[in-house]
Amino acid sequence: MDLFEYQGKQYFARFGIPVSPGGEADTVDEAVAQAEAIGYPVVVKAQVRVGGRGKAGGIKLADNADEVRTHAGNILGMDIKGHVVRRLWIESSSDIAKEYYASFTLDRPNKVYLGMLSAEGGVEIEEVAATNPGAIAKLSIDPTVGLDLATATKWVADANLDEEAREQTAELLVKLFTCYVDGDCDLAEINPLILTTDGIVRALDAKVTLDSNAEYRHPEWEVWSATDTEDPREAMAKEKGLNYIGLSGSVGIIANGAGLAMSTLDVVNQVGGSAANFLDIGGGANADVMTAALEVINADPAVKSIFVNIFGGITRVDEVAKGVIEALKRVDLKSPIVLRLDGTNAEEGRALLAEHLNDRLVAEPTMLDAARTAVAMAAANEGGSK
């Protein structure tokens, strides 16, 4: 789960990481009320999960209520790289002396934690890594050991942070590390981490990705799950407990297993089509799961054909076939279905389906054949609807 800036800052605050005082606003009036409560000058910030907000005009300084009104009005509803702004974060303005960068993430090849600290913040860290890699002080952290203040103190010196910022930053880094580990983050990033003209170090932005596998031990994340997705298809799938990702093509995909589902998208693409979604129904391909999956795909107006790709391992194909037959009774589908069922008990499964097959329910022996048929059907369907 990727958090918005304001959510990330709320999470940081729980771990004692200094952030500017602020509040959220969904309307112009709310923005003004927040600004009045905080005191001017304030910064009006668009809440979108994409970089480059400032350049797009999504971050503006306001000295009074009229300016807040103007900026909030302009920013709400603004489209920033395909993300529509629905919420603002109003915070107390900071006088910035220096901009730094700090983050913790997993170093996958070495299976340890990686801390990155740079005196050159405020720009994309990938850019710094490409143009001036020496400006990033990397710290490898053993997950069984952690990060203590002494190590953090040496680290801020290695990164050449300004003398007056070092002590506060070292303390902040230990807190950010605690947030990263105890807070179950995949990524905890501050860019920029600022030193103000009056010598205070704090997080001016927050980029936090939470590990959804740890959701069971973080009831406090519940409040953020409502804003987790902006795609109504994904919201519907989540409600039904499905592992779904919305894409922009016309072939709806249902597969069992993450690898097979990914592979199905690839094969559809190889034969000239494009997938409308990723959907892994896992091992339990019974009638209820199949019904839920078909309902979500059926609700997507872009879907023109549906490709069900099942390889029976533990799940026997005859059980899957029964599930499909039952689901088709429950859902009134707009698009034709192509089935590819293989693996354990495939013959029994195909025999069960034989009498149900027609021009809206087609079975193909291989993944490639099924992909070709699904793509051809989508194209025909698209042509017909124009």
The residues that touch other proteins, with contacts defined as CB under 8 A, are 2, 106, 108-109, 111-113, 126, 142-144, 181, 184, 186, 211-214, 216-217, 243, 245, 247, 255-263, 265-270, 274-275, 278, 280, 311-314, 342-344, 366-368
What tokens appear for 173 in the block? 């880094």
> Which is nearest to 247 in space by CA: 207, 307, 187?
307
Please, which residue, 179 or 361, has the CB nearer to other proteins?
179
Residue 99's φ and ψ, nearest 5 degrees, are: -120, 125
Of 314 and 380, the one with the shorter C-beta distance to other proteins is 314
At closest approach, how far in Å is the CB of 256 from other proteins?
6
Active site residue 189: yes
Task: Name the minimum Å distance from CB 105 to other proteins.
Answer: 9
Separation CA 240–CA 234 (nearest Å)? 10
For the beta carbon of residue 301, count every other beta carbon within 10 angstroms.
9
Instruction: Give me the least distance between CB of 359 and other proteins, in Å please.
Output: 26
Q: Based on CB atoms, which residue is closest to other proteins, 165 or 276?
A: 276
Centroid of chain to Cα 28: 27
Of the residues 6, 11, 100, 101, which is catalytic?
101
Q: Which is nearer to other proteins, 13 or 187 (CB)?
A: 187
Instruction: Give residue for tokens 């580990």.
Output: 181
CA distance 373 to 219: 45
d(CA 57, CA 80): 9
Out of 99, 171, 189, 295, which one is annotated catalytic?
A: 189
Percent helix, strand, coil in the chain, to 5, is: 40, 25, 30
Least distance to other proteins, CB of residue 249, Å: 9
Residues acting as catalytic residues:
101, 189
